[in-house]
Structure 1
């Protein structure tokens, strides 16, 4: 199974880049994993919120294949413990999912079309975080889930 981590926005800021790269490298020991940063539309500053989300939705949906399992990160999504996230990933592998995509939407969230396309909605916390920190937390938590699946020492419950 391949794990793709998508985020709408600018490239990783330097204050999180090293951590994201480190956890992604570690994650690659378990599954092929990579980040794709989806740049917002060039005219984003001139668009209202609804139109910006529609434009971003076109960019996001254009990156997905029909068989990709899309996990949308959203504050209203289901919250998991780390072991539950591990089980969720294992279930996808057991179902022979070829690609699981974790998506961090734009600054205003995502358009309804992306919600409709999503196979699952996940919340990392009921707190709101800057997008850059969400990228780091997501990379670490997916890595942690993989260590749980292998019964390795990284996670202590």
Structure 2
């Protein structure tokens, strides 16, 4: 199973880049993992929110494969404990899912089309975080889940 992290926006800011790279490298000891930073659509600055979300959806839907398991990070999604996240990932592996895509949407969220395509909607917290920090939190939590699956010492419960 491969873990794909997709985000719409700019490259990792320097203050999160090192952490994201470090956790992604650690995740790769368990599952192949990579980040794809999807640049905002051309003319994004002149599009209204609905048009922008529609353009972003077109890009994402063109990138997704039919069998990809899409996990949308969304503030209205289900919240997981670290142990439940580990179980969630292990269940996808047990189901022989080839690609899990964790998607961080654009600044204004995602279109209804992406919402419908998502296999799971996951909320990291009821708090709202900057997109850059979401990348770091996401990569750390996936690494933590991997260590829980292997019963390693990183996570203390």
Same fold (TM over 0.5): yes
Match of 2:135 in 1: 135
Residues 13-70 of structure 1, C-alpha deviations (whole Å, 9 max, x = no match): 0000000000000000000000000101120000000000000000111111000000
**Which runs of structure 2 are paired with 1:95-134 in the superposition (5 Å)?**
95-134=95-134
Are 1:13 and 2:22 an aligned pair?
no
Q: What's the counterpart of residue 154 of structure 2?
A: 154
Distance in 2, matches of 1:90 and 1:32, equals: 14
- Structure 1 length as normaliser, TM-score? 0.99
Q: Specify the alignment match of 1:64 in structure 2.
A: 64
Match of 1:79 in 2: 79
CA distance in structure 2 between the partners assigned to 1:19 and 1:116 by the alignment: 32
| Partner in structure 2 of residue 26 of structure 1 | 26
Distance 1:29 1:115 in 2: 31
Aligned length: 157
Deviations 1:65-121 (A, max 9, x none): 000000000000000000000000000000000000000000000000100110000
TM-score by length of 2: 0.99
Task: Tell me, in whole angstroms, the C-alpha distance in 2 between the residues paired with 1:63 and 1:134.
Answer: 21
Could you tell me how far apart the structure 1 residues matched to 2:104 and 2:112 are? 14
Residue correspondence of structure 1 range 28-67 to structure 2 within 5 A: 28-67=28-67
Q: For structure 2, which runs of at least 5 residues remain unmatched after alignment? A: none
Structure 1 segments, 4+ long, off by >3 Å, are: none
Distance 1:97 1:29 in 2: 18
- SS of 2:11's partner is coil
